[in-house]
Amino acid sequence: MCELLGMSANVPTDICFSFTGFLHRGGGTGPHRDGWGIAFYEAGGYRDFRDPHPSVRSPIARLISDYPIQSHIVISHIRQANVGGVRLANTHPFTREMWGKTWCYAHNGQLEAWQGLPLAFYHPVGDTDSEHAFCWLLGTLRQHFPHLPDANDTQRQACWARLHALCEELRSLGVFNMLLADGDYLYTFCSTKLAHITRRAPFGQAELSDAELTVNFAEHTTPADIVSVIATEPLTSNEAWVRMQPGELLVWHQGRIVARFTAEEKGADSPQ
């Protein structure tokens, strides 16, 4: 079982606190020894850092937890290999460019019969089920929407509904917990395990579950800040995390949920 960590915020925010707890699971408190990666969308673009070594011993992971990169969307992943050897090409997150945007993706779970998913524009570089599924997902979406959908609600909702349907197809092949982002929106899909928390004023204290560290968010934020964190398992021991439902897709923008698609309805719900 891999671990996923995502963040969506309305102000550039560093993820050092959550990442510190998260990376302890990479060979520290967890069994996820087969590499890790983290991707940042900053005001000026996208970058990621990936390492096929356990995160607790990685000099790059230490750099990231000490170097406060200010970001409004983050996707991170710690790997426990099942399909595909332990090497850099199999290390999440994966990226592709679509519609002039950098798309970033990380997957937790394992799929059956994924080799049959037909590929259009994008082809895997490594040999994991995860990257193949990503190439299929993005290529199929691009076939339906050759150009960036208009920001008007109808087009965008149609695109998100299609994305949800594709995620549901992947869930039917096995376990498919996913974080996906395009620089504007963060998409989180739950198959079995994903929880989230939104922090906003009045900010309190948070205690990491995996490392002896407490942070008083009030010291690091302004009253207007909204910061949401999404993870496989809750990262803090003293806050109330919300567990996502199987088949649920949430679309995040600037720390808020702006659309929700559920397994039952396969339609958009009213945004929060």
Cα torsion angle, 111, 115, 116, 122, sign: positive
Provide the minimum distance between the beta carbon of 224 and its own copies in the complex, in angstroms, as a whole number. 24
Q: Angle at CA 61, nearest 5°, toward 57 and 64?
A: 155
Query: Binding of its own copies at residue 256 (CB under 8 A)?
Result: no
Binding residue for its own copies (CB under 8 A) from 29, 31, 70, 88?
Answer: 88
Among the listed residues 57, 99, 218, 266, the single contact to its own copies using CB under 8 A: 99
Answer yes or no whether residue 59 interacts with its own copies by CB under 8 A. yes
Quick check: 49 binds its own copies (CB under 8 A)? yes
Q: Return the active site residues.
A: 2
Q: How far is the CB of 33 from its own copies (least distance, A)?
A: 15
Provide the token pair at 246.
């199987």
Residue 89 binding its own copies, by CB under 8 A: yes
Residue 42 pairs in a beta bridge with 45
Q: How far is the CB of 66 from its own copies (least distance, A)?
A: 8
* Residue 70 found at the interface with its own copies (CB under 8 A): no
Distance between CA atoms of residues 156 and 27, nearest Å: 40
258 binds its own copies (CB under 8 A): no
Asked if 136 is part of the footprint of its own copies (rule: CB under 8 A), the reply reads no
18: left (phi over 0), alpha (psi -120 to 50) or beta: alpha
Contact status: 118 vs its own copies (CB under 8 A) = no
Shortest CB 129 distance to its own copies, Å: 15
- Of 45-53, 108-116, 172-180, 204-212, the segment contacting its own copies by CB under 8 A is 45-53
Residue numbers at the binding site for its own copies (CB under 8 A)? 42-47, 49-50, 52, 59-60, 63, 67, 85-91, 96-97, 99-102, 121-126
